[in-house]
Chain A
Amino acid sequence: MKFLKKTAYLVGPVLLALLPGVAAAEDTLSSGDTAWMLTATALVLFMTIPGLSLFYAGMVRAKNALSVMMQCFAITCLITILWSLYLYSLAFGDDIGGFVGGLGKAFMSGVGVDALSGSIPESVFSVFQLTFAIITPALIVGAFAERMKFSAMLWFMTLWVTLVYAPVCHWVWGGGWLGSQGVLDFAGGTVVHINAGVAGLVAALVLGKRHGYPQQPMKPSNLVLTTVGAGMLWVGWFGFNAGSELAADGVAGMAMLVTQIATAAAALTWMFMEWMSHGKPSALGLVSGAVAGLVAITPASGFVGPMGALAIGVAAGLVCYLAVVKVKRVFGYDDSLDAFGVHGVGGFVGAILTGVFVDAGLGGAGLAEGVSMGAQVGKQFMGAAATIVYCGVVSFILLKVIDAVIGLRVDVDEEQQGLDLVLHDEQGYNLH
């Protein structure tokens, strides 16, 4: 998300010359920008419900299909309420030491009809940001799917968005320390994907494997739903990446173009990798690659050019394929739906390569004045590392505390019966 910082970064010299002292005081509403941001906001919410929900529901066994859909839907509701009470303020309120926002915007204080954020109403900015705060915890669901208690999930998500998402979001986009250090994260490679991926990996490790994993077959219940969901994610992602410009302009257009190219490149890369190693291409591989490409281009989308996007897509397809298909098997952790393998790893690849392909010589928007490519990559690495360490440690503590107080997992019998029936007294599929 550019906020004001990124405008200064990219087209800084030009814009600053035109508008000396560009500042909030100069804000005027642009109906074009506002129209696009209203649309982009709806697109990003569409990514979670129903895009991600379907993507995930198709990959779990039939007995758990409804449980993951319900988790994504309940997270959407839960985060919305928390956002309106205090979360928006923690992320975007007045900066406290570069770490977190203050409570000045709690209860949506000051977000009136006339309040502006840049060239759009603050109400739109706030809901747009909310949709990012929704999809991030929803992504984590993929890592602990098929075994976590619903109540524990709600507690974890409440605490996690408060203590992890809000601060990290503030660090990068809310005026916090990472953004002011020049770390580039256009649409959330670090805030959303590395954050969710790392929390997912920690959750998979703390909860432990699903009963019977990996000896027992755990076949996806409906890859048609998964393919449909992946397609919805792709479409919604235009709101995510092109919307992160917070304006309807050339950068938003380029963000859309590079998103399309990187996604296609990663999808085909994964498909051909599988084709070469296994002998046949698969639909699940193709769409998994697409999501990996979407993830990796996210931090880069406002900064790189079309050929940079192609390179990022190929790299993401390759590295995420190896992470999901090879690395996970070697280490034996049970990241059920590969939240870490796709979002954590893809987010990291994207974060680092953003520092490379932002270079004007490689078709990007150009490095900040006086910053070398090596220095920018270093900043990118620092941003990713800070998020990995902070998110990893806090997520671990939260999970351990919740486990001690109410328990994280359903018991073995319940797990075998399936969460739909045991936790919700209903079934996703009543086909007979």
Chain B
Amino acid sequence: MKLVTAIIKPFKLDDVRQALHEVGIAGITVTEVKGFGRQKGHTELYRGAEYNVDFLPKLKLETAVTDELAEQVVEAIHKSAATGKIGDGKIFVSSLEEVIRIRTGETGAQAI
């Protein structure tokens, strides 16, 4: 099993959800996050006080998938989240040791 974590632009969330749905993903977790990468922040000015905003708002998506599905999921996110402009985000794939569904106690691929 793999844990796929993606950082995306907030306005791309619906596109990504749709793409993942088409691949057959049953659930994702979304978190509002802030961070910086190569994309520069912006400047805000309030009555002459200038503030540099380095941390930009992004969304973090997490979804647990079976090994077979991992590649398709990554591809789906990759295509649906891309704008071609700097700041599109990143996808991280890591091994997942165990998954447990709390309601039933099922484990492994069955719990995904």
> Which B residues have a C-beta under 8 Å from some C-beta of A?
44-49, 51, 53
| In contact, B46 and A284 (Cβ under 8 angstroms) | yes
Chain B: CB-nearest residue to A213: B49
B residues within 8 A CB of A280? 45
| In contact, A326 and B46 (Cβ under 8 angstroms) | no
A218 at the interface (CB under 8 A from B): yes
B residues within 8 A CB of A282? 45-46
Give the Cβ gap from B58 to chain A, nearest Cβ, in Å. 18
Give the Cβ gap from A431 to chain B, nearest Cβ, in Å. 12
Give the Cβ gap from B4 to chain A, nearest Cβ, in Å. 26
| In contact, A288 and B47 (Cβ under 8 angstroms) | yes
> Which A residues have a C-beta under 8 Å from some C-beta of B?
214, 217-220, 274, 278, 280, 282, 284-285, 288, 324-326, 328-329, 338
| In contact, B51 and A285 (Cβ under 8 angstroms) | no
Q: Which of B46, B47, B49, B51 has the most CB of A within 10 A?
A: B47
B residues within 8 A CB of A329? 48
Complex: how many Å from CA A217 to CA B49? 8
| In contact, A218 and B49 (Cβ under 8 angstroms) | yes
Complex: how many Å from CA A259 to CA B44? 31
Complex: how many Å from CA A329 to CA B45? 14
Chain B: CB-nearest residue to A327: B48
B residues within 8 A CB of A218? 49
A residues within 8 A CB of B49? 214, 218
B residues within 8 A CB of A285? 47
Complex: how many Å from CA A324 to CA B53? 22
A residues within 8 A CB of B44? 219
| In contact, A338 and B45 (Cβ under 8 angstroms) | no
| In contact, B48 and A220 (Cβ under 8 angstroms) | no
| In contact, B47 and A219 (Cβ under 8 angstroms) | no
Chain A: CB-nearest residue to B51: A217
Q: Which of B45, B46, B48 has the most CB of A within 10 A?
A: B48
Q: Which of B44, B49, B53 has the most CB of A within 10 A?
A: B49
B residues within 8 A CB of A324? 47-48
Give the Cβ gap from A323 to chain B, nearest Cβ, in Å. 10
Complex: how many Å from CA A285 to CA B48? 9
Give the Cβ gap from B93 to chain A, nearest Cβ, in Å. 30
| In contact, A219 and B48 (Cβ under 8 angstroms) | no
B residues within 8 A CB of A338? 47
B residues within 8 A CB of A328? 48
B residues within 8 A CB of A214? 49
Complex: how many Å from CA A329 to CA B47? 11
A residues within 8 A CB of B53? 217
Give the Cβ gap from A391 to chain B, nearest Cβ, in Å. 24
Complex: how many Å from CA A360 to CA B47? 37
Give the Cβ gap from A142 to chain B, nearest Cβ, in Å. 12
| In contact, A278 and B47 (Cβ under 8 angstroms) | no
Chain B: CB-nearest residue to A218: B49
Give the Cβ gap from B48 to chain A, nearest Cβ, in Å. 3
Complex: how many Å from CA A338 to CA B45? 15
Complex: how many Å from CA A284 to CA B48? 10
| In contact, B51 and A278 (Cβ under 8 angstroms) | no
Chain B: CB-nearest residue to A338: B47
Question: Besides the contacts A217-B53, A218-B49, A328-B48, what 20 more A-B pairs have beta carbons closer than 8 Å?
Answer: A214-B49, A217-B51, A219-B44, A219-B51, A220-B46, A274-B45, A278-B45, A280-B45, A282-B45, A282-B46, A284-B46, A284-B47, A285-B47, A288-B47, A324-B48, A325-B47, A325-B48, A326-B48, A329-B48, A338-B47
A residues within 8 A CB of B48? 324-326, 328-329
Give the Cβ gap from B46 to chain A, nearest Cβ, in Å. 6
B residues within 8 A CB of A219? 44, 46, 51
A residues within 8 A CB of B45? 274, 278, 280, 282
Give the Cβ gap from A327 to chain B, nearest Cβ, in Å. 10
B residues within 8 A CB of A288? 47
Chain A: CB-nearest residue to B43: A278
B residues within 8 A CB of A274? 45
A residues within 8 A CB of B51? 217, 219
Complex: how many Å from CA A288 to CA B53? 23
Complex: how many Å from CA A102 to CA B68? 91
Give the Cβ gap from B78 to chain A, nearest Cβ, in Å. 31
Give the Cβ gap from A329 to chain B, nearest Cβ, in Å. 6
Give the Cβ gap from B54 to chain A, nearest Cβ, in Å. 10
Q: What are 9 A-B contacts defined by CB distance under 8 Å? A: A217-B51, A218-B49, A219-B46, A274-B45, A280-B45, A282-B45, A326-B48, A328-B48, A329-B48
Give the Cβ gap from A224 to chain B, nearest Cβ, in Å. 14
Complex: how many Å from CA A219 to CA B44? 9
